[in-house]
Chains A and B, each alone.
Chain A
């Protein structure tokens, strides 16, 4: 019985291979996009963890300076001699030809076990001696060669280190970074002796940061990964629409079969079990396909993601993907979950179907009237909730929730709205043929509504994201123009060289603008403090988002500080508030400036004040205002032997910044295209499956004199009409989406709010694409209809039930 039942159920798929194909592809796409995005996130997280592990962040409490980025190692000795088991760490950036390397210095004697790596060859004690004698630097294999070329030390590749990271003995690090006697932080070991004096009494300048809160990069990039996850979820949802459609159709068509099987004595329970088993097998096959697809997606996108994260947050993640077994499991699990989600309704209906209920093959879900009313009610609830969240949302998760509610609400509202519009069309029809066309389109709506919802979401996401990206691009370019005012930027090798050059250049240029900065903590957040030599470059070019009276003169006099938008928003500090810039010095905030593309907070004080606060910080890089950049460049090259790379002109920096920016959104763009493609596919599949069911409805029209070719053309027209109507609704939805992204998500994720610009030409192009997709999706079914043998149409009347 079981075997016979299975064979009977399976025969449906044999007779409808296209439906099976749709089901499997839909599920595989959903699983693939989802697990691809998850894989990217997992890979990035693994990289962050490796980076954090190399510092013991996460596992150990740390002692950090209350102000500034470094402190004297005598404080370390004082703590050790007071009995505290702490281990010193010095961190810094090392310039190599290919970019910058994060160098970490550790003391292998006091560092917690496991922080100091063995080299890959495991030379052991010679390794420790060499490490401690300051001539070995361990480096991630990706940067080992670049490092070898730029430091005199022996460089050993060590896989365990995070990408872009190198590790050396603390003494070697102090020399390589030119920070003699300086430390960045202390690791507090978990096992401490009894009766120690409080840390504050020994080292009042250090603050203790509990374990697990250290990974700034992880926190900063959270928003980015949430973004990716949201996209993955969107793709998954679109895929599940397809699966839901295919399963619903298959079950609907097998109502007769189900009735027959039950009439033949198969218990309902076993029948349900068989149907579930069938779905599990399909889900596993599709899930496996999906995982492979996910791997391809992840492997293709990962280099761009890596570039994005590096550009946006300075976070290094590995560009190559490792196949992890956990993927297979999570991929298959999500496929099963998705199938269960999509099939639960259909299974429920079969479970509740009276044994002898009419098995009449109603056209798929024709009882949609009531469902549509429910959908409309649901849509109203979702949209109202989204609206409420616009006012109430705080935090990234709620902002995304608002986004989600908006999208789902709009998708649910779509069938009801289209139904109204089509009803209007019917009323306005002049001839019988067009009246039939409108009515028939309306009749088809329930069957197509899922595909149309997918299309709506895809178009809206496209409009929303492209509006955000383009708005960002405009703002960012304008920002670069005002920010990069200096004609030349010079990067000497040492502070001494820099001072000499600045002195040499001062009489020849309009202004020398030294770049003075320290990494510090402001208002409890990681931030950079800059000292600016305030002159016309600043006063004429910089625009403030908000400012008190005369911001620049007050900053120049050391009476005020200006902060970037990120800091202002995160700490809720605005003009008029005060900010503690250093121990015992709080200054009023004179203005807030936009600072796009920078993850951390920033504050600017006058150069004089900065030099008072941080006499040990010397400027290395500086900008130059000059009317004749070429002559200055030539003079610098000739006199100081600077290489090409050490003098960058304004255009070069802008080009570089824009490149970083463009790569930032490559991933988003790619996911956008994928979503649109999935939606197009959903439409194609819906039309194809509907085409067979619709013969009984088309046959009378054919019998009344419409030719097959005309029927085909009308099919095509219908698809375009529906796509166009969806498009009309998708545009405002997309703009609403863009607004939420710019005004809510961006603020939470990056700390800045961007003005929204509209790009009608882009939307026009997108509309063209969407219509083209609909046309392509409808072309094949229409062509098939136009070539349906008249005998098939005639059979409809013969088989009339």
Chain B
């Protein structure tokens, strides 16, 4: 899963409420729509927002290479978080938007965040033509398949072109992704086949980059169970063209719930149920004053996958609200390749 963050309530929420799973995602879904099995998606409309659901994201990560072979990573995320299951015009809008952007190099990790309210034009998503924006950060193009992606912070900026070279991929059962044994679920699809070309602006100057990007679309009203307090999420692209999405939700009692999707080069998918894959921390790093596992062993016995996943920059800490770890990784072992790792709930 790309079960990610939603932060805004945290900024003003007292601790007892935060304790309901990471970033309040385990709170009750009263009044909000809940995902149901056997979804029928309607595109391009479903690329746009679903205000009846509590949370939603447009989540893009990219692995890139500079002219000298240096690996880079970038993140562009737009979150929607609803206080009420509807949209209204003007300041009365109960929809809150937030953006996270980051660039990771082997030496540095730069990040920024943005907040906005729906209804006034400061942030939102339209589908034809496609535009997802918050302030001046944009992901926009004639269609969802050809988009320009921009963002900037106090010390970095990027401007890249994305072009889809494969189909959308649906996780779980046709896009219905179960998150716990109790049945919490979300709608979840991805575009993992974007080819990328563009420019990063770093403190040292501009860098031309090429690479590939992975976009996750997910919406739900209560994606986590109340006793789940964090997750580790992997999106890995192997050199043979296959891809793996895997996540593990850590539960308060020490057990975990794992799930994933095996993606063939042509976009064919196979759901990996709980038990079909395993992620084990191998080594940790001290990041922002806490211990975070930045080297992992990921196994999918059914596919002959036994790889070591290593952070390109162990300090890829997102200093946003709430903070989490997100950065590019390299893959070695039975398969080689690269990808992205996200870890939340490490206090």
Interface residues of A (CB under 8 A from B): 73-74, 77, 80-83, 85, 107-110, 113, 116, 118, 122, 124-125, 127-129, 132-134, 169-172, 174, 180-181, 191-195
Contact = CB atoms under 8 A, between A and B. Distances in A.
Nearest to A124: B14
Interface stretch (B47-55, B153-161, B247-255): B153-161
B297 interface: no
Contacts of A122: 14
Contacts of A172: 91
Contacts of A109: 8, 96, 115-117
Return the 10 tightest CB-CB contacts between A and B, nearest first: A171-B91, A83-B136, A124-B14, A125-B13, A109-B115, A128-B12, A193-B152, A80-B135, A77-B121, A129-B83
Nearest to B27: A125
B117 A107 contact: yes
Nearest to A105: B91
28 contacts: A74-B121, A81-B121, A82-B136, A83-B136, A108-B12, A109-B96, A110-B116, A113-B11, A118-B12, A124-B17, A125-B24, A128-B9, A128-B11, A128-B12, A129-B83, A132-B117, A133-B83, A133-B94, A134-B91, A171-B91, A171-B92, A193-B157, A194-B152, A194-B153, A194-B154, A194-B155, A194-B157, A195-B152
Interface string B69-88: 00000000000000110000
B152 A83 contact: yes
Interface in B104-138: 112, 115-117, 120-122, 133, 135-136
A455 to B, nearest CB: 62
A193 to B, nearest CB: 4
Contact of A132 (B83, B133, B155, B157): B83
Contacts of A80: 116, 122, 135-136
Nearest to A107: B117
B8, B136, B157 — which one has the most chain A CB atoms within 10 A of its CB?
B136
B21 to A, nearest CB: 14
B157 A195 contact: yes
B333 interface: no
A134 B92 contact: yes
Contacts of A180: 90
A77 B94 CA distance: 18
Nearest to A108: B12
A70 to B, nearest CB: 15
A664 B242 CA distance: 82
A127 B135 CA distance: 26
A127 B83 CA distance: 12
A129 B153 CA distance: 28
Nearest to B10: A125
B336 interface: no
A171 B155 CA distance: 33
Given A81-B135, A194-B157, A171 B116 contact: no
B201 interface: yes
B91 A170 contact: yes
A132 to B, nearest CB: 7
Contacts of B11: 113, 128
A193 B134 CA distance: 14
Contacts of A132: 83, 94, 96, 117
A179 to B, nearest CB: 12
A109 B116 CA distance: 6
Contacts of A113: 11
Interface SS of chain B: helix, strand, loop or mixed?
Answer: mixed
A132 B84 CA distance: 11
Contacts of B92: 133-134, 171
A233 B8 CA distance: 52
A180 B83 CA distance: 22
Nearest to B18: A125
Contact of B12 (A77, A127, A191, A194): A127
A113 B321 CA distance: 12
A172 to B, nearest CB: 8
A192 B154 contact: yes
Given A73-B120, A133-B84, A171-B92, A124 B12 contact: yes
A322 B254 CA distance: 52
Contact of B122 (A77, A127, A128, A195): A77
B29 to A, nearest CB: 15
Given A81-B122, A109-B96, A133-B83, A195 B201 contact: yes
Contacts of B117: 107, 109, 132
A90 B136 CA distance: 23
Nearest to B133: A81
Contacts of A192: 154
Contact of B17 (A74, A77, A125, A195): A125
Contacts of B83: 129, 132-133
Contacts of A107: 91, 117
B90 A171 contact: yes
Contacts of A108: 12
A368 to B, nearest CB: 71
Nearest to B119: A171
A401 B135 CA distance: 54
Contacts of B136: 80-83, 193
Contacts of B115: 109-110
A191 B13 contact: no
B12, B84, B94 — which one has the most chain A CB atoms within 10 A of its CB?
B12
Interface string B144-171: 0000000011111100000000000000
Nearest to B24: A125
A128 B24 CA distance: 14
B13 A128 contact: yes
Given A109-B116, A193-B154, 11 more contacts: A73-B120, A77-B120, A83-B152, A109-B117, A110-B115, A116-B12, A124-B17, A125-B24, A133-B94, A194-B154, A194-B155
B14 A125 contact: yes
A83 B136 CA distance: 5
Contacts of A125: 9, 12-14, 17, 24
A90 to B, nearest CB: 10
Contact of A174 (B84, B91, B116): B91
Contacts of B84: 133
Contacts of A110: 115-116
Given A83-B135, A191-B154, A169 B91 contact: yes
Nearest to A86: B135
Contacts of B112: 193
B11, B14, B91 — which one has the most chain A CB atoms within 10 A of its CB?
B91
Contacts of B121: 74, 77, 81
A521 to B, nearest CB: 27
A109 B94 CA distance: 12
A170 B135 CA distance: 18
A707 B157 CA distance: 102
Contacts of B133: 81
Interface in B1-29: 8-9, 11-14, 17, 24
A194 B155 CA distance: 6
A169 B94 CA distance: 12
A623 B248 CA distance: 73
Nearest to A190: B154
Contacts of B120: 73, 77
Nearest to A192: B154
A195 B136 CA distance: 12
A106 to B, nearest CB: 11
A85 B154 CA distance: 11
A107 B120 CA distance: 12
A192 B112 CA distance: 10
A132 B93 CA distance: 9
Nearest to B122: A80
B293 to A, nearest CB: 30
Contacts of A171: 90-92
A127 B17 CA distance: 12
